[in-house]
């Protein structure tokens, strides 16, 4: 596959990371009734909102076969986050996946970079991806990531921007892949991970580009808890229903006070995005991305599942 030079630069915010592990596809949590789409007629629907109750929503990522995130996903996710911010009744949202084996993965390599960089800044003044993640973290609504399958690149960053993360012990994989392709992440993991798991472990995740399974993610604090897969859905549903019964203003007040001492400032998130845009256009990064595409990234399941293995096979373009 010959990759357009601009398309080679497009891996926005954070791509996927994945090691040999997950051959079996993960079962996604059953969708409750009352589904409503965050609709964009020109694109297939990748983001679904399900109102379990007026106070408790599910936001489901659904872009098979690998839940790749691209510029076409941005307005759909933005619609969902805007509804979270503005709906007067919702108190808790759970992010999950309808795609077996993949929570949410990397940015789409194929569209030109201009499809992303031409988008107007969001409400925070940040570019769209860091804007949405910053707004999610500060929304007066509790957000929970239910991670079954691979949360890599943008998927890891969405999980990190959520207030809580719960993972399948057997089927969850979290990672930041970008180092393997020669560029920096852009969706906030350098700002968020050290605050969450400490400097040394954050550097291990970011500089190795390797997979962190559910059990290790729990030990590191990358997720709140990891459960046997059969117990994950029940725990998250019960927690979300419990939170949904509490007073919304009190939930928002508590979250806002915690945010003051725990969230990175927007300028840190913006700086990461700038670093990503710069680094992804370097010749070394573009050469590595083209090698990955030729190996079968976005087309071959084995490459998506075992991405850290394949990054280890790349030729060093600097030599």
The residues annotated as belonging to the active site are 157, 178
Three-class SS string for 118-155?
CCCCCCCCCCHHHHHHHHHHHCCCEEEEEEEEEEECHH
Cβ atoms < 10 Å from Cβ of 172: 33
- Dist. CA 130–CA 277, nearest whole Å: 13
User: Could you write out the DSSP letters of every residue in 76-132?
Assistant: HHHHHHHHHHH-SS--EEEEEESSTTEEE-PBPSSS-THHHHTSPP-TTSS-HHHHH
Residue 197: CB partners within 8 Å, gap ≥ 6? 205, 220, 221, 222
Tell me how far apart the alpha carbons of residues 197 and 154 are, in angstroms, rounded to a whole number: 18
């Amino acid at each position: 596959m010959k990759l357009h030079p601009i398309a080679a630069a497009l891996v926005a915010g954070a791509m996927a990371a994945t090691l040999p592990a997950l051959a079996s596809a993960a079962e996604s949590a059953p969708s409750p009734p009352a589904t409503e789409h965050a609709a964009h007629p020109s694109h297939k629907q990748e983001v679904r909102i399900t109102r379990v109750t007026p106070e408790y929503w599910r936001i489901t990522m659904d872009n098979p076969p690998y839940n790749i995130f691209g510029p076409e996903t941005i307005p759909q996710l933005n619609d969902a986050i805007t509804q979270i911010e503005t709906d007067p009744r919702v108190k808790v949202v759970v992010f999950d996946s309808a795609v077996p084996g993949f929570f949410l993965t990397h940015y789409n390599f194929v569209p030109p970079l201009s499809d992303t960089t031409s988008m107007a800044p969001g409400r925070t003044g940040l570019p769209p991806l860091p804007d949405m993640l910053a707004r999610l973290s500060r929304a007066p609504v509790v957000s929970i990531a239910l991670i079954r399958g691979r949360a890599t690149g943008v998927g890891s960053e969405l999980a990190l921007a959520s207030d809580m993360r719960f993972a399948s012990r057997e089927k969850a994989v979290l990672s930041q892949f970008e180092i393997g392709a020669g560029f920096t992440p852009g969706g906030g993991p350098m700002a968020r991970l050290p605050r969450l798991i400490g400097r040394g472990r954050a550097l291990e995740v970011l500089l190795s580009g390797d997979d962190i399974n559910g059990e290790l993610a729990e030990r590191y604090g990358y997720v709140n808890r990891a459960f046997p897969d059969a117990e994950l859905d029940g725990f998250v549903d019960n927690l979300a229903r419990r939170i949904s019964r509490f007073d919304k203003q009190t939930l928002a007040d508590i979250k806002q006070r915690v945010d003051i001492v725990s969230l990175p400032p927007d300028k840190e998130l913006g700086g990461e995005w700038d670093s990503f845009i710069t680094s992804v256009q370097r010749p070394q990064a573009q050469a590595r991305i083209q090698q990955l595409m030729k190996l079968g990234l976005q087309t071959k399941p084995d490459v998506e599942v075992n991405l850290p293995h394949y990054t280890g096979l790349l030729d060093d373009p600097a030599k």
